[in-house]
Structure 1
Amino acid sequence: MSEIAPENIALCANLTSASIGKHQILQAMDLQLAAGRWVAVVGPNGAGKSTLLRVLAGLLPCVGRVDLLGRSLHDWPARQRATRLAWLGQAEGGSDDLLAQDVVMLGRLPHRAWLAAPGADDHVAVAQALRAAQAWDLRQRRLGELSGGERQRVLLARALAVQAAVLLMDEPLAHLDPPHQADWISTVRQLAARGTLVVSVLHELSVALQADELVIVQAGRMAHHGPCAAASSHQALAAAFDHRIAVHPVQGQWVALPQIIPRSD
């Protein structure tokens, strides 16, 4: 990747290692991500993608340093950090008795004083987030009544309602059907166009190839970081999956297709 001007770096990580329990998951890794970009993190199962995202979010300790908007992540007061960095994890929980609109309003908590009632700005942000996530029609339904895909859209709206400068999402397309995946892509592109850094861990490689940048994680290391349209990125992606996939142009987009290896009996 080309050098990023310091004032444009939204998230920076210089990691020596990160572990879960006694197991080291991530090894030496140096990553700089610019504002106004959509970055897709991909790699084989168990490569360390989700661990990397949790380290970037400050949810998992590491040996090294993570900077958010030019300041060490841990130097931010918790409330201020929560207004600038939003998180959507895998299988996010929530009270099943809450209405969807109340779940989304939780994303506005960092913007309000303790125990303060939501203000006009909060209600506007929640309405915008529900519409952006295609969840407006779900706002009066309880979370426990929703299907997996509907629930995911509400939780996405909660993350959008934060209106953070950096949005981290781990497998955000889980349970979403193709039309809602397309809506998600459109939303992410709009966020990046407005200056938000969006970092998403994705298993859907053809969706990942529509991002601005690809970060490929393999065996706990960053195997590649480059533009999604670059041939070097396509080659690195194929190599990370033992050449069991290949990247092809289809109707003006790059798609990753499985390579069927004949079995020898």
Structure 2
Amino acid sequence: MNSVAIHAGGISANLGNVEVLHNIDLTLKNGCWTSIVGPNGAGKSTLLKVLAGLLKHRGTVSLLGQPLASLPGRTRAQQLAWLGQNESTGDDLTVMDVALLGRLPHQAWLAPPSATDHAAVEQALRATQAWEWRARTLGQLSGGERQRVLLARALAVQAQVLLMDEPLANLDPPHQADWLAVVQRLVAQGTAVVSVLHEISMALHADEMVIMSKGRVRHQGPCAEAATHRALEDVFDRRIAIHALGAQWIALPQQVAYQGPGACDD
């Protein structure tokens, strides 16, 4: 197996007439969880869409050693799974139907789902604790429950590379912890996981971190290294600080200057 999951060279991209990514070079490894972080407007989601082949760009992207643009659509869909932000799915579809969509790249045209497809979907729904609602429709679910079903759809692909944009949206802390456990199991199996996260402390659980600002990669390195922590603090203008908590690192807000009495003061 190629040790490199995704390689990007000289990536630039526009949204409208504005260039939002500027000459990015990036290598992401198999069996590694990479978190992409940075301030609002840094270009994180745009970069992830380029890596997924969802956005026009300049430069090159390869997936598992092959040029992404030259891969047949079915092959790409089998090798790379995607979970985007605010994905719309019909409210009348059942949880089972949505999760089965993740198996389409593995099915012949118009063929019904196989026993292998059903087994993969059950495994994915159980991993996200959504199996018990498999007969319910998405319209009957909360935002957090819906997000877990969409994650199950991505897991059901059983792809070598999994890209996720803000996967923790609407998830409460216990289910964020469940998501973390799912990611760690995937990485242990050799999957490459790449996630854009606003939750910096959760992002610090990853193996490597890509830190972005103003459409450029400012730093890439192991999450446990001091250089990564310094770069992370710098890109947020020292408004956060990285601290050790046992064997893990967390991001805490730096104290800001006192601005006078507030509404809750006597």
TM-score using structure 2 length:
0.96
Residue 173 in 1 paired to residue 168 in 2?
yes
- For residue 196 of structure 2, the aligned residue among 198, 201, 214 is 201
For residues 78 and 133 of structure 1, the distance between their equivalents in structure 2, rounded to whole angstroms, comes to 27
Q: Structure 2: 5+ residue runs without aligned partners?
A: 261-266
Cα displacement string for residues 56-89 of structure 1 (whole angstroms, at most 9, x for unaligned residues): 0000011000000000001110011100000000
User: Could you tell me which residue of structure 2 aligns to residue 222 of structure 1?
Assistant: 217
SS of 1:32 mapped into structure 2: strand
For residues 126 and 180 of structure 1, the distance between their equivalents in structure 2, rounded to whole angstroms, comes to 19
The runs of 4+ residues in structure 1 deviating greater than 2 Å are none
For residues 65 and 138 of structure 1, the distance between their equivalents in structure 2, rounded to whole angstroms, comes to 41
For residues 129 and 57 of structure 1, the distance between their equivalents in structure 2, rounded to whole angstroms, comes to 21
Residue 155 in 1 paired to residue 150 in 2?
yes
Residue 61 in 1 paired to residue 25 in 2?
no
Alignment of 1:18-57 (within 5 A): 18-57=13-52
For residues 10 and 112 of structure 2, the distance between their equivalents in structure 1, rounded to whole angstroms, comes to 40
User: Could you tell me which residue of structure 2 aligns to residue 3 of structure 1?
Assistant: none
CA RMSD, 1 decimal: 1.0
Give the percent of matched residue pairs that are identical in Structure 1 and Structure 2.
61
Shift of 1:93: 1.0
For residues 10 and 16 of structure 1, the distance between their equivalents in structure 2, rounded to whole angstroms, comes to 16
For residues 128 and 264 of structure 1, the distance between their equivalents in structure 2, rounded to whole angstroms, comes to 52
Corresponding letter in the other structure for 1:188:
V
Shift of 1:26: 0.3
In the alignment of these two chains, the number of paired residues is: 260
User: Could you tell me which residue of structure 2 aligns to residue 8 of structure 1?
Assistant: 3
Equivalent residues of 1:41, 1:200 under 8 A apart: yes
- For residue 80 of structure 1, the aligned residue among 65, 71, 75 is 75
For residues 192 and 113 of structure 2, the distance between their equivalents in structure 1, rounded to whole angstroms, comes to 26
User: Could you tell me which residue of structure 1 aligns to residue 263 of structure 2?
Assistant: none
- For residue 178 of structure 2, the aligned residue among 177, 183, 208 is 183
Cα displacement string for residues 66-121 of structure 1 (whole angstroms, at most 9, x for unaligned residues): 00000000111001110000000000111110110110000000100111000010
